[in-house]
Amino acid sequence: MSWNDQTVRSLLRRMFDAAVESAAPSTAVLRNLPPKPAGRCIVVGAGKASAAMAAALDAAWPDVDVSGIVVTRYGHAVPAGRIRIIEASHPVPDDMSLKAGRVILEAVQGLSENDLVIAMISGGGSALLVAPAGDMTLSDKQAVNKALLKSGATIREMNAVRKHLSLIKGGRLAMAARPARVLTLVISDVPGDDPSDIASGPTVADESTIEMVREIVQRRQIQLPARAQAVLEMGHETPKREELSSNVRVIAAPSLALAAAARVADDAGVSTLILGDALEGEAREMGTVMAGIALSARTQGKPVRGPAVILSGGEATVSIGAAQPGRGGRNTEFLLGLAVALAANDGIWALAGDTDGIDGTEDAAGAIVSPCTLTRSQQAGLDAKLFLSSHDSYSFFEGIGDLIKTGPTLTNVNDFRAIFVR
């Protein structure tokens, strides 16, 4: 095959689409439903895929007494029959996030041992499902989320803080549902697929401690509101393994998405190297590292010969600091860092995108880098290094027409990165 710009772009996009399709809730939920309960089935949940997950269960069990409530991001709702859908804000919670936390806790009250609670959990649930502890208000919770997003903390660190400032996260939802049985179906968007990290694990025993959270807050220099700090000082500890046993099934995950993309490449006669599904780090620095790997493969024929695609997943971070940021997300910032490091080297393309269709807070899933990215940007009067330093990667790729816009995909298995080496 002649690997020109058009054919490479087409391959990369087909790989991304295959990764997203592998995590479609409609099929993933049906593969993992338990035996039907003798009593009621109460569906609760939170995340960008939760509405689509709930809709699949409602359609599959018409003869079961099904009810419930799930919360998803604005624009991600789908009809779910007997299950109520609430939309709320992400990544910073709003009044609907607070309402969702209250009504979901109410939905699991007064259940019996014959009842089954199925929790539909996916990425984004931490912001969408809010029940502040102590005297904290919604504005306190919003301030905490904004501080966490700016701190450069890892997703695991952020979730540890959120759990200890909540009445619903860190296993507390499952505790509230007792004595009913609880099954959690998870679409993973976190490195390592640890269910306690996804949406801050509302039905999963928590291994983090209040002491760990205090250390994170100090080390990351996170400025917490006074009422949030007071909750930490009170020692608001989360349920541990000895208190809460969890029945959890991870029904879709980044590793499966990368495998689906690799099959597309293989069908096209392109070798693949999967670096891993749990890569973390500063987005722009990760771009520099990945550029070095791609250049090595390009110039030395290592680790493979012939056309190849280097795949990875996980979740990068973007540390804003005190500067006023531009527009963008971790995938477009990764790509802009990669493009600058490649310096228009011929024969290397890349695509990176968030599988939920939304990179950061913008309307693009990600973007594409090609060997002529820097040349085209210079012709358009765009200084790549300047846009990178101001965290304005969305505007950069918008300026050269290389953003990828899918709209909400109704699933989320974290970031997808593919680098094609000709």
What single DSSP character describes residue 305? -
pLDDT exceeds 70 at position 218? yes
- Give which of 408, 416, 414, 422 is closest to 78, Cα–Cα: 408
- Which backbone phi and psi does 184 adopt, to 5 degrees? -110, 125
pLDDT in tens, 298-326: 877 655 567 999 999 988 888 877 667 78
Burial 383-418 (b: 16+ CB within 10 A, else e): ebeebbebbbbbbbbbbbebbbebebbbbbbbbbbb
pLDDT in tens, 153-207: 888 899 899 999 999 999 999 999 999 999 999 999 887 788 998 999 999 999 9
State the average pLDDT over residues 41-64. 97
CA dihedral 357→361→362→366, nearest 10 degrees, is -50
Q: What residue ranges define each of the domains in the chain, with the CATH number in brackets?
A: 5-21+255-421 (3.40.1480.10), 25-252 (3.40.50.10180)
What single DSSP character describes residue 38? S
CA dihedral 64→68→74→75, nearest 10 degrees, is 10
Q: What is the mean pLDDT of the chain?
A: 93
Amino acid of residue 242: E
pLDDT exceeds 90 at position 149? no
State the average pLDDT over residues 60-77. 96
DSSP string across 186-203 = EE--SGGG-TTTGGG-TT
The total of other beta-carbon atoms located within 10 Å of residue 35's CB is 6
State the average pLDDT over residues 5-9. 96
Predicted TM-score (pTM) above 0.85: no
The CA-CA-CA angle for residues 338, 342, 343, to 5°, reads 120
CB under 8 Å to 189, separation ≥6 — which residues? 122, 123, 124, 198, 254, 315, 355, 356, 412, 413, 414
- The radius of gyration of the chain's CA atoms, rounded to the nearest angstrom, is 22
Q: Within the chain, what is the greatest distance between any pair of CA atoms?
A: 67
Peptide linkage before 303 cis (omega within 30 of 0): yes
